[in-house]
Amino acid sequence: MDTSQLLKTVSFIEMGARERAFALLDPGSGHELIGPFERMKSPWLEPQGIAAQADDGVVVAKGSIGGQPAVVLAIEGSFQGGSLGEVGGAKIAGSLELAAEDNRRGVPTRAVLLLETGGVRLQEANLGLAAIAEIHAAIADLRRHQPVVAVVAGTVGCFGGMSVAAALCSYLVVTREARVGLNGPQVIEQEAGIEEYDSRDRPFIWSLSGGEQRFRTGLADRYVEDDAAGIAATVRELFAQGVPAQHRDQRIGEFLDLLARVDTARQPDGAYARAAFGKGN
């Protein structure tokens, strides 16, 4: 992007969850379900001394995308690192389940997941885990009818059980600032040791789990500028493509073959991962 483009684009990353969700829906088509004024807060945070956000950090926006019925589920990364608890998790899982129901009744409701999340909210532990498992099942169900599109833009990225959710989606859209990974950098450093993985080395982290790297190693489908209009257009374009012939997890044989050929004796870096997985990307 050059300076003149910079001044014209509207940053998607700068937006909060609510604004992002409505930015993707057709203008004027959206309304919020189980919004903040319904006070579906987490019952678990205040007893632990944590101020609870009225929407539990998840926005459900129902409307249309490209004229077709759609629901956007947006996680607010600024609240508790976007971590999922009982209520927020239920909002996402429930919305996806209702979308699948719609399809079975002949209404082509599709879903977009805006993922800024560290995964399970530790303060809610098993409830968060259970909710994420339900989200996985609901994605697997809905994606038989309609594409499920995930967008990871930053600054939080998508980690933990929700990275598995991202991987289950039909299409994954990422920006340069995005990161997608199962374990967070500090956890990897703790487990593997600082010589192998230094969590303070930011370029290193992005070289392995950043948006561009995920795109080049075939684990993300679109690599886009941080531009709200552009991201909305990309989402519409992906829906127009329809359900892919095979989802990434269904190509497991392919990925297992690639993994089998990885030289585990050498320390992998971004370049090696691209060579091993990227088919020359």
Partner 1 sequence: MEKLQFSFPAGPPAQGRVLAGVVGSGDLEVLVEPGQPGQTRVAVNTSVDGCAWLWQAVLERTFTDPGAAALAVEINDFGATPGVVGMRIHQALSELNLAGKA
Partner 2 sequence: MNTLEQPRVWDRRRSEKKRRVALVDGLADGKVIPTGSIVAALESLIGCGDRVVMEGNNQKQADFLSRSLAKVDPQRVNNLHMIMPSVGRSEHLDLFERGIARKLDFSFSGPQSLRISQLLEDGQLEIGAIHTYIELYARLFVDLSPHVALVAGYKADRKGNLFTGPSTEDTPALVEAAAFHDGIVIAQVNELVEDESELPRVDIPGSWVDFIVVADRPFFIEPLFTRDPRLIKPVHVLMAMMAIRGIYERHQVQSLNHGLGFNTAAIELLLPTYGERLGLKGRICRHWALNPHPTLIPAIESGWVESVHCFGGELGMEEYIRARPDVFFTGRDGSLRSNRAFCQLAGQYAVDMFIGSTLQVDGDGHSSTVTRGRLAGFGGAPNMGHDPHGRRHPTPAWLDLLQTDSPLERGKKLVVQMVETWQAGGKPTFVETLDAVQVAKDTGMPLAPVMIYGDDVTHVLTEEGIAYLYKAGSLEERRAVLAAVAGVTPVGLKADPSATARFRERGLVAFPEDLGVERSEATRSLLAAKSVADLVTWSGGLYNPPARFRSW
List interacting residues with partner 2 (CB under 8 A). 1-3, 6, 11, 13-14, 154-155, 176-177, 200-203, 206, 210, 212
Find which of partner 2, partner 1, none residue 76 binds, CB within 5 to 8 Å per kind: partner 1
Find which of partner 2, partner 1, none residue 122 binds, CB within 5 to 8 Å per kind: none
Yes or no: say if 131 and 119 are a contact pair by the CB < 8 Å rule: no
| # chain residues binding partner 1, by CB under 8 A | 14
CA atoms within a 13 Å half-sphere pointing along the CA-CB vector of 134: 22
Find which of partner 1, partner 2, none residue 200 binds, CB within 5 to 8 Å per kind: partner 2
Looking at the Cβ atoms of 2 and 195, the one nearer to partner 2 is 2
CA distances from 260 to 214, 255, 263 (A): 19, 9, 8
Please report whether residue 36 would count as binding partner 1 according to CB under 8 A: yes
Looking at the Cβ atoms of 27 and 47, the one nearer to partner 1 is 47
Please report whether residue 244 would count as binding partner 1 according to CB under 8 A: no
Positions in 12-31 near partner 1 (CB under 8 A)? 16
Q: Where are any strands of DSSP class E within the chain?
A: 31-33, 58-65, 68-75, 110-114, 148-152, 171-174, 222-223
H/E element, 271:
helix 270-277
Looking at the Cβ atoms of 56 and 226, the one nearer to partner 2 is 226
Positions in 84-123 near partner 1 (CB under 8 A)? none
The closest alpha carbon to 57, from 90, 24, 101, 13, belongs to 90
Find which of partner 2, partner 1, none residue 264 binds, CB within 5 to 8 Å per kind: none
* Numbers of helices and strands, H then E, in the chain: 11, 7
**Cβ 74 to partner 1 shortest distance, Å:** 12
Binding mask 41-80 for partner 1 (x = CB under 8 A): -----x--xxxxxx---------------------x-xxx
Q: How deeply is 41 buried, as exposed, middle or buried, from its count of CB atoms within 10 A (0-12, 13-18, 19+)?
A: middle
**Cβ 3 to partner 2 shortest distance, Å:** 6
Please report whether residue 189 would count as binding partner 1 according to CB under 8 A: no
Contacts of 21 (CB under 8 A, 6+ apart): 30, 59, 61, 72, 73, 74, 114
The closest alpha carbon to 81, from 20, 113, 122, 45, belongs to 122
**Cβ 88 to partner 1 shortest distance, Å:** 13
**Cβ 49 to partner 1 shortest distance, Å:** 4
**Cβ 188 to partner 1 shortest distance, Å:** 24
**Cβ 37 to partner 2 shortest distance, Å:** 21
**Cβ 54 to partner 1 shortest distance, Å:** 6
Amino acid at 1: M
Where b means 16+ CB within 10 Å and e means fewer, 234-256 reads: bbbebbeeebeeebbeeeeeeee
Q: Give contact residues for partner 1 (rule: CB under 8 A).
A: 16, 36-37, 46, 49-54, 76, 78-80
